Amino acid sequence: MKILVTGSTGYIGKRLIPLLLNEGYSVVCSVRDASRAHPFNKEDELITVVESDFLKPNTLSTIPKDIDVAYYLIHSMSNSSTEFHSLEEKCAQNFKEFIETTAAKQVIYLSGITNDTKLSKHLLSRKNVENILQSNTYSLTTFKAGIIVGSGSSSFEIIRDLVEKLPVMIAPKWLNTKTQPIAIRDVLNFLLKAIGNEKLYSNSYDIFGPEILTYQEMLLEFAKIRGLKRYILTVPIMTPKLSSYWLYFVTSTSYKLAASLVNSMGIEIIGKPSNINELLDIKPISYKKAIKNAFVKIEQNSIVSSWKDSFISGRLQHKAHEYINVPSYGCFKDIKQRSINNPTETINKIWAIGGENGWYYGDFLWKLRGFFDKVFGGIGLRRGRTNPTELNVGDSLDFWRVIYADKNHKRLLLYAEMKIPGEAWLEFKIEENILYQTATFRPKGIAGRLYWYTVVPFHYFVFNGMISKLAAPN
């Protein structure tokens, strides 16, 4: 059986694909940017990677027509709330029209619980997508999930930030809102077991964990599992905007995502009971068990996917390879080089840069730069990195995005996603036992030039120290 997975590089898609392969399915991975597909084992005869964009119907000819089942795991790439609805609608319509020309008998769509009469903009869009995907040509199976809890999920990481950073929280009143969290393991089980099950054709099911909890209870339970004592005081006067800033400054989320979450968190998300657990023989685990499972993955450094690696977590909105050719004209450059004795040792240091490992020199200045970035509406340093020793194209790396990463060619290229008046790249490469470190800045207007000359003294110390540490033997 041949399965099409859209959103292949997303949080759910990355985790679902290995499960499909383990079941012996032939998998077609649809990606907007083929350079981000290399984490998949493309040498596996069961995998086909195709570059296609459902916002551009002319690109869909790359997808084979002999598919049996298709997963719709696409979310809009736009950070703009004004564009979100229209892009989601267009994407769903193009997907539907294309799938109707294939041999697919079933489409499986993962949405969010929307049975409340009052819906956030995000959930209203998800419901609209479900309506668009309905077809007389194929059968639609929709799963509407509660808050998804798992290593790397946005919900898990935000709760973790709040609990581990704040002994005392003065929090918005929406922390008393009730919800039904579900473990990522169970979400994947539902998606996997639905394949070809005709009992699920043309049906929609809410999927959720066994407990109804408030967000405050989720935070306190998380703290208990981590052995932390936390105190929470909810206040009724915190406006949605203040709530958004509260999440933005304390957690690693962007302001726009924080605002979207606040808009959703004020609405109870309680699942509608059905017989889906019995139909698929799935018994969802508790919130406590889901948290413990997540930390097992974290401690083993085996996080498969993270919401932070989604392009929506930063400012980059296009294909990564569009930024791979670093410009020269009209740019400022800081170029440094060092001779090295052990290229393998140095490249391993480069691949471990950032996150908890730091930037090898002047970490205080890096943190200060991250703080000011947050103050001016940027993402700061708190996204960190998903894996402490591995980097793939598209990964977030503090306030950078990985544009090119090839250990064999000994080259790493990063694109800046911090708030700056221009564009910036940071490149590391090794040629003939010489490490080259190049910072490139393309200024935008006078502000950009003033910015560059302001930070030049800091660059001198930080970049000199960093390359010396990278080149030095352990």
Who contacts 432 (Cβ-Cβ below 8 Å, separation ≥6)?
none
Yes or no: say if 192 and 20 are a contact pair by the CB < 8 Å rule: yes
Residue 163 phi/psi, 5° resolution?
Answer: -70, -45
Checking DSSP bridges between strand 2-5 and strand 69-72, what pairing results, if any?
parallel
Tokens representing residue 208 in the block: 């959720």
Tens-level pLDDT at each residue, the chain (474 residues): 999 999 888 888 888 988 998 898 999 998 887 766 655 555 567 888 888 888 889 999 999 999 999 999 987 544 445 566 778 888 999 999 999 999 999 999 998 887 656 666 667 777 888 889 999 999 999 999 988 888 877 778 788 888 888 888 887 777 888 889 999 999 999 999 999 999 999 999 999 999 999 988 999 999 999 888 988 888 876 666 676 666 767 776 666 666 666 666 667 788 899 999 999 999 999 999 999 888 877 665 554 554 444 544 445 544 545 556 788 778 899 999 999 999 999 999 999 998 888 899 988 888 888 888 877 777 777 677 877 888 888 888 888 888 888 888 899 999 988 888 888 999 999 999 999 999 999 888 888 889 899 988 888 889 999 999 999 987
In whole angstroms, what is the distance from residue 264 CA to residue 390 CA? 34
CA-nearest of 177, 181, 178, 179 to 209 is 181
Helix (H) or strand (E) holding 134: none
Write b or e for each residue in 95-116: b if 16 or more Cβ atoms lie within 10 A of its Cβ, otherwise e: bbebbeebebebbbbbbbbbee
Amino acid letter, 151: S
pLDDT at 323: 55
Type and span of the H or E element at 357: none
Q: What is the DSSP letter of 350?
A: H
For the chain, counts of helices (H) and of strands (E): 13, 19
Burial 130-167 (b: 16+ CB within 10 A, else e): bebbeeeebbbbbbbbbbbbbbbbbbbbbbbbbbeebe
CA distances from 308 to 131, 153, 214, 251, 329 (A): 29, 8, 25, 12, 32
> What's the CA gap between 168 and 410, in Å, rounded?
46
- In terms of Cα–Cα distance, which of 14, 264, 297 is closest to 157? 297
Label each residue of 363-423 as H, E or C: HHHHHHHHHHHHHCCCCCCCCCCCCCCCCCCCCEECCEEEEEEECCCCEEEEEECCCCCEE
Residues sharing a CB contact under 8 Å with residue 392, sequence separation 6 or more, in sequence order: 36, 38, 39, 402, 405
Phi, psi of 394 (to 5 degrees): 95, -15
Whole-model pTM over 0.85: no
pLDDT value for 293: 86
Residue bearing tokens 């070809």: 196
Amino acid 455 reads V
Residue 417 and residue 400 in contact, taking contact as beta carbons nearer than 8 Å? yes
pLDDT number for residue 202:
93
In whole angstroms, what is the distance from residue 389 CA to residue 346 CA?
13
> Could you give all domains of the chain from N- to C-terminal order, each with its CATH number?
2-308 (3.40.50.720), 314-471 (3.30.530.20)
The answer to whether the CB of 95 falls within 8 A of the CB of 54 is yes
Q: Are 471 and 346 in contact (CB under 8 A)?
A: yes
Under 8 Å between Cβ of 305 and 200: no
